[in-house]
Structure 1
Amino acid sequence: MSVHMGKTPPHQNCKKTSRQKTPTFKPSATTQFPECTNCLASSEDGRYLGLGHSQGFSIWCASSLIAVAEWLHETVEITFIQITRMAETTYVLGTIDDMGVARVFAYHNEDIHLLCVLNIMENVNKRSICLMYEMSEGGDYAAASISCNGAVWLEVYSFPSDVWQKELEMALLQEQDSSGDVDLKWSPASMVFKITPSKMPADGPLEDFFAHCLALDTHISSRHQQEEQASNADTGKIKAASERRCTHHFLLPCGRFIGESRAKPQSVGFPVALCVWWSGSQNLLQYLLQKAPKKKSADVEPVPDELWPNANEILCSAVSRSTRYVALGLDNGVVCVWDRQSGSPLSVVSVSAADSAFLRIQFVDNSPLSADDSHSSFTEKVQILVLCKSGAIHTVTTGRETQSCTMQLTDLLRTKHSGDLPTVVTSVQFLQNLLFVLQRNGKMFLLDVINNTPVCLLVPLSTHPIASPCNPVYALNAKQKTLFIKGLHVSAHDLMRSCSVPSPGESQSQLLVFRFGESDVIKQYIISPRQQTPSYVTREETCDLYLQQRALSLDERRKAQKQTWNQLKETEVAVKRRHSRSTTS
């Protein structure tokens, strides 16, 4: 495996690339999609694909591309799907349909079972709509953002995965003993807590720092809503103030809280906390999932166990693969990276993005592990990708006791017109320092973020263009090193008749498969998967590592301190000289 260190300056690489033709890679396979496929997801183990479409969803084998099970309903159109493995032979699926109904399914022994509906609509006048829905890896928890009559809140559920597994085994035995279907009642999911935007009055008693930060958030949010309503009144628009949207991330143990020891020892991806921030907020809140509530009622507003304040409004966020680091993109062009283990910022980096606000942020978390990674707690570097609304892309490399650096990927992604704007920019977990980029015009390529050069163009067949590049349906399978993306099958006669791509209704949907392991150009970038065990240590071990790092860096710190004192003395002499000259004149 070759690792590109980027010794050649980026501008020289760009000139070299312009003289050399970028290699191309065509789909390894194509197959017909179900009609009106809206969403696509891959399980973490790479075995199955979940396809959401009109009249239900289906499960496909990722290697053979054959449908193995389906759940059909005439009036249900699935618009979001997620699939994760709950046990060795059991998978749990989360879906949202076009009416905003969130459901939980289980795939067991080639059968699909509807386990529960999260937002059952008992009253038509109070119809709750699921805006966003995410399950933790392994299906132990789920968080759903719910909207109803202008109010938005976050519901966090605990799934009885062990009980469901036993009930699925029992259902299988009953189906084998009986000739027909068996009507079973599954154990319900329990709501852990319900989180709403803070409603603390700005002029109330400020007993502690938490209360002060929450009150400040409430004041800023109210001011934004008043400004928005005033703007609508000035323009004559009749429009309600925008709802406060919620963004959340499940967090794995980091060895900082006592409650983390209550996580399942056999489950590597078992989350212990949830971090949350609301639109218009400056605070990142953390809630422990295993913390026993004093009152069993889920309507009781939970109190955050941790609060990380920021100087400006949060626009976007991301967590590293180990979930130790949380990156926040702020509205003043600043990226703040919080270290959960120490409870303090790892770094605060100013990004030159004055022309446009941040749109999305993510970790380029695909570096291979070295043998001593467990002891590099205080020297580890993190790389972050920032996408702006203007289409500009920045990379940020930072770490503790290291100098941060930023780079804008402009040579290849400079937008000459709207067709060049990227709609997908994401790091590829199994490719070293490569990004997958898809533009509005349907152009796809892999980009080396170190050398700022395209590695390979992903070119679909002329008869299979990418379907809806502005809102593509795709999934990356890390286990199989594969990209699955929705395309359209267009006949040669239609292409000759018109240069424009036909609408989806005029052509058949196709699944395009790019197996990166089959490309000699891409093979050299493929890296071995990371270890599944999260690397975290206890608080005592953290202190020991910190003291070790401080002892090893003593000479360097003394040298830097001496250099700083020398600079101060030189500055003092220069200031005295200027002062004496001014007084003499």
Structure 2
Amino acid sequence: MSSPKESPIQKMRLPVYIRKGPLEVPSPSEKDWSKDDEEDYVLKDPDQELDSLPQPYRMINKLVNLLFDRSWEIIEKRDAEREAERSRVQPVVYPPLLESKLDNIPKCMAISQDYVFIGEANGFSIYNLYNAKRVGAWEKVKVDVTSIWATDLGSEVLIAPVDETGIIRLFYYYKESLFLIKAINEVEDASKQTTCVKMAVSLGGDFAAFLLQGAGDVWLDVYKLPKDTWLKEVEYPQLTANPKKKVRQLQLNPTDSVTPDNLETDVCTCFKGDVKLSLPVYIMKIKPPKPVTGTTFKSPLEVFAKVEDCCGLGSGQNHFIKDSQWEQHEAIFNASYKKYLDGEWEEEPLSTATFHFLLPSSVIPMPAEARGPSGVACVLGIHWTGSHNFFFYSLHRTLKDKVDPESVWPCAAPIAVSSLSCSGSYLVLACDDGVLTLWDLQKGFPLGVVALSKGCFCQSIHFLKYFLVHKGQNVYPEFPMKSRMKCVVLCTDASLHLVEAEGTQGPAIHVLAERSVKYPNETICAVAPVPALPGMVLIFSQDGSVRLMDVAKPQIACAFAPPRAYCLAAPWNPVFVVSSHHPCFLLRGDHPDEMEHTDASRDTRNSIFYFSFETYPLLENISRNCTISQSDLAANTAFPQTLPLEKRCERFLHEGFLNLEKKLVKEEEHWTRLRRYSLLLQKRISVSDATSSPGPSGKVSASRQLPPRTPCTEGTL
């Protein structure tokens, strides 16, 4: 006889635990009885049904529910963002006017005069700004240019490219001819190679400074540039090499690669390596200030007796502190912050410097024999990382002179950022506590001090050419404005601020844009003023968008975007350049597949997009009518500060006479009112004297008492 078929429950084998010892069966009691019958039982809490599941099914069920809830929240959030995006008023987006395809990936760009200088692998190329034609290049194997500067010297251009090894070279571009001047920090021994971190050229191109670092040290080399001698040498070249040696010529077609076998003689330029130009004159070497250490002097009298120069006393320099005092301060510091000092210390990075070439002004007293011609830089201003002081060094010195600062500006906090206007008239020092000091170097006095909001710290400062709002439109005055400046400050929290200062009036600060919490992809990563459009700045966001903001309103005027094939993924590091003299800017197109594919044989899309403000309807009128004449401003009473001094005095006297006539009329009205009031008081006093006389009983009659007086106003007289 076959055994009965097992049920699924019987097939489940559960572990059986056998208890040792006699089995004790508890006696039943009424407390253990169920009060409700099973037929009438209703499950009040639905979650109790899930709790009754065995493990691990109960845990799996909770994870599935949690995953479903989180997915539903994400779906609702994205749906709300799409709905909000549809309801937003999007600015007008303009495409580029021209696209220039390149063989190599452009790593950096610079604009000077009518030329664009693009750093690439194995050198740099020169393009015409208007027709995007290649007009020249400098090539060297395994020299990838990572950054490039171009300075206008009048009819010539000074080019300074830096390659990936940190070597900086100076080139001279004149009448479509390129000359190599010098490799500043190139050495034969690779172990002694230094790196160029930063450079600056003075206004007019008379001086240049290079921040170099190497072997654990950092310093600043300053040179005087013989630009007048260069002009004579290129006009009358003296070839030092074989004159029969052919000069390599470069063709114009940007799509063809430049090789020694590809030489066409159509309108082209050439690199003249045989022409030797005069080398820059080395002036001085500036090192970071040394840390304050203990002195061997025993008394203050000994200090004053042996100190030669006292110009630095009281300015944060020339400190003389005993070793014992330093030891006491160090012991107190270690005892107070012991719990923070026990951990491992990271090695501090090398100090860097920010430096500016300053024109002659009344801020820094210079001897008469040291002053140069007007418009030529005479002082180098510099501040180092973590330093409270801004140093001034005279440029009229030789190598034999001692390199000491002529003057020092101490600040209450370490200087984080500094910026000098294009004209060299205004200087802004931003400390790491969010305080900005505005200086008018031409007049020699501070325009004021402003503080950013709490939690905001300065990241970069961009000067705007001073503009006015005339009939709802931003315009530039034809004549220069004195002691008036405007600048845009980008903070570390991606907020944007506008700082304004006018003469003796206190500076004002306005928030242009705050960090978007609702749209984090629109975080601002770079800002660039547009000199061709008054009061306009380009804003580059992390999502790849480029927008034009009117800082006077403030609002977004329009946006610019490359074709859809060049969709940019966040975070974005834009490569762009804005022309100072032309109404245009250039933007590199980054294809999203460039970072994923490294095969050199593939057809890459390396393009430079050209945007011209004059070709767009919203900006056409602004770019062409961006200036206002002095006569139009004189007729408008809204801008009395823009008038000449004679006109302002004449208007002031005229307004004074008009106000005097108004004052005479008001005085007559006040005098008439005063006479009426005096007559009324006399009547009340006479009536009160008559009623206050005693009657037969010697008391004043209550029926003849005057009512209480009310205050007299202009309407009651």
TM-score, normalising length from structure 1? 0.75
The sequence identity of aligned pairs, in percent, is: 25
Q: Secondary structure at the match of 1:130?
A: strand
Q: 1:52: how far off?
A: 0.6
CA 1:406–1:386 in structure 2 vs 1: closer, same or farther (change >3 Å)?
same
Q: Establish whether residue 471 from structure 1 lines up as the match of residue 573 from structure 2.
A: yes
Aligned with residue 453 of structure 1, among 555, 558, 566: 555
Asked if 2 retains the 8 angstrom alpha-carbon contact of 1:385 and 1:393, the reply is yes
**Using the alignment, how far apart are the partners of 2:96 and 2:369 within structure 1?**
44
Q: Select the structure with the greater relative contact order (CA < 8 A; seq sep ≥ 6).
A: 1
Equivalent pairs counted in the alignment come to 494
**Using the alignment, how far apart are the partners of 1:400 and 1:87 within structure 2?**
32
Q: Establish whether residue 80 from structure 1 lines up as the match of residue 147 from structure 2.
A: yes
Q: Establish whether residue 26 from structure 1 lines up as the match of residue 123 from structure 2.
A: no
Asked if 1 retains the 8 angstrom alpha-carbon contact of 2:528 and 2:578, the reply is no
Q: 1:184: how far off?
A: 3.9
- CA displacement 1:415-474 (0-9 Å, x = unmatched): 446532211112211211111001111011001112121000112211234598632211
Larger Rg: 2
Q: Which amino acid aligns with 1:521?
A: L
**Using the alignment, how far apart are the partners of 2:291 and 2:476 within structure 1?**
45
Aligned with residue 485 of structure 2, among 382, 402, 413: 382
CA 1:517–1:323 in structure 2 vs 1: closer, same or farther (change >3 Å)?
same
Q: Establish whether residue 112 from structure 1 lines up as the match of residue 218 from structure 2.
A: no
Matches within 5 A, 1:173-322: 178=244, 180-181=246-247, 183-199=274-290, 201=292, 203=294, 205=303, 208=310, 210-215=312-317, 234-236=342-344, 239-254=346-361, 257=366, 263=372, 270-289=376-395, 291=396, 293=397, 296-297=398-399, 301-322=402-423
Q: Secondary structure at the match of 2:585?
A: strand
- CA displacement 1:56-107 (0-9 Å, x = unmatched): 001111111011011111110111111223352x322111110010100122
CA 1:468–1:140 in structure 2 vs 1: closer, same or farther (change >3 Å)?
farther
Q: Secondary structure at the match of 1:271?
A: coil
Aligned with residue 35 of structure 1, among 79, 94, 104: 104
Q: Secondary structure at the match of 2:124?
A: strand
**Using the alignment, how far apart are the partners of 2:478 and 2:367 within structure 1?**
28
CA RMSD of aligned residues (A): 3.9
Asked if 1 retains the 8 angstrom alpha-carbon contact of 2:115 and 2:126, the reply is yes
Q: Name the structure 1 match of 2:187.
A: 121
CA 1:415–1:161 in structure 2 vs 1: closer, same or farther (change >3 Å)?
farther
**Using the alignment, how far apart are the partners of 1:465 and 1:504 within structure 2?**
19
Q: 1:501: how far off?
A: 8.8
Q: Which amino acid aligns with 1:406?
A: I
**Using the alignment, how far apart are the partners of 2:223 and 2:628 within structure 1?**
29
Q: 1:489: how far off?
A: 5.6
Q: Name the structure 1 match of 2:465.
A: 365
**Using the alignment, how far apart are the partners of 1:288 and 1:369 within structure 2?**
34
Q: Name the structure 2 match of 1:541.
A: none
**Using the alignment, how far apart are the partners of 1:364 and 1:271 within structure 2?**
22
**Using the alignment, how far apart are the partners of 1:59 and 1:386 within structure 2?**
32
**Using the alignment, how far apart are the partners of 1:402 and 1:77 within structure 2?**
50
Q: Secondary structure at the match of 1:74?
A: coil
Q: Which amino acid aligns with 2:94?
A: F
Asked if 2 retains the 8 angstrom alpha-carbon contact of 1:467 and 1:488, the reply is no
Q: Secondary structure at the match of 2:317?
A: helix
Asked if 2 retains the 8 angstrom alpha-carbon contact of 1:200 and 1:214, the reply is no
Greater Cα shift, 252-261 or 466-475:
252-261
**Using the alignment, how far apart are the partners of 1:518 and 1:461 within structure 2?**
17
Q: 1:337: how far off?
A: 0.7
Aligned with residue 60 of structure 1, among 127, 138, 161: 127
Asked if 2 retains the 8 angstrom alpha-carbon contact of 1:94 and 1:134, the reply is no
Q: Which amino acid aligns with 2:458?
A: F
Decide which structure has greater strand share: 1
CA 1:329–1:255 in structure 2 vs 1: closer, same or farther (change >3 Å)?
closer
Q: Secondary structure at the match of 2:315?
A: helix
**Using the alignment, how far apart are the partners of 2:87 and 2:499 within structure 1?**
26
Matches within 5 A, 1:331-370: 331-352=432-453, 354-367=454-467, 369-370=476-477
**Using the alignment, how far apart are the partners of 1:365 and 1:87 within structure 2?**
21
Asked if 1 retains the 8 angstrom alpha-carbon contact of 2:241 and 2:274, the reply is no
Q: Which amino acid aligns with 2:462?
A: Q
Matches within 5 A, 1:357-436: 357-367=457-467, 369-370=476-477, 373=480, 377=482, 380-410=483-513, 413-416=515-518, 418-436=520-538
Greater Cα shift, 239-248 or 119-128:
119-128
Q: Name the structure 2 match of 1:97.
A: 163
- CA displacement 1:210-232 (0-9 Å, x = unmatched): 2443438999xxx99x99x9999
Q: Secondary structure at the match of 1:451?
A: coil
CA 1:139–1:405 in structure 2 vs 1: closer, same or farther (change >3 Å)?
closer
Q: Secondary structure at the match of 2:538?
A: strand
Asked if 1 retains the 8 angstrom alpha-carbon contact of 2:120 and 2:146, the reply is yes
Asked if 2 retains the 8 angstrom alpha-carbon contact of 1:95 and 1:103, the reply is yes
Asked if 2 retains the 8 angstrom alpha-carbon contact of 1:32 and 1:510, the reply is yes
- CA displacement 1:180-238 (0-9 Å, x = unmatched): 3573433221112111112263555586352443438999xxx99x99x999975436x
Q: Name the structure 1 match of 2:693.
A: none
Asked if 2 retains the 8 angstrom alpha-carbon contact of 1:394 and 1:407, the reply is yes
**Using the alignment, how far apart are the partners of 1:103 and 1:475 within structure 2?**
21
**Using the alignment, how far apart are the partners of 2:284 and 2:618 within structure 1?**
49
Asked if 2 retains the 8 angstrom alpha-carbon contact of 1:198 and 1:217, the reply is no
Q: Name the structure 2 match of 1:4.
A: none
Q: Secondary structure at the match of 1:166?
A: helix
**Using the alignment, how far apart are the partners of 1:187 and 1:86 within structure 2?**
16
Q: Which amino acid aligns with 1:510?
A: S
Asked if 1 retains the 8 angstrom alpha-carbon contact of 2:531 and 2:581, the reply is no
Q: Secondary structure at the match of 1:139?
A: coil
Q: 1:177: how far off?
A: 6.7
The unaligned stretches of length 5 or more in structure 2 are: 1-83, 248-272, 296-302, 322-328, 468-474, 630-644, 657-717
CA 1:484–1:263 in structure 2 vs 1: closer, same or farther (change >3 Å)?
farther
**Using the alignment, how far apart are the partners of 2:89 and 2:373 within structure 1?**
53
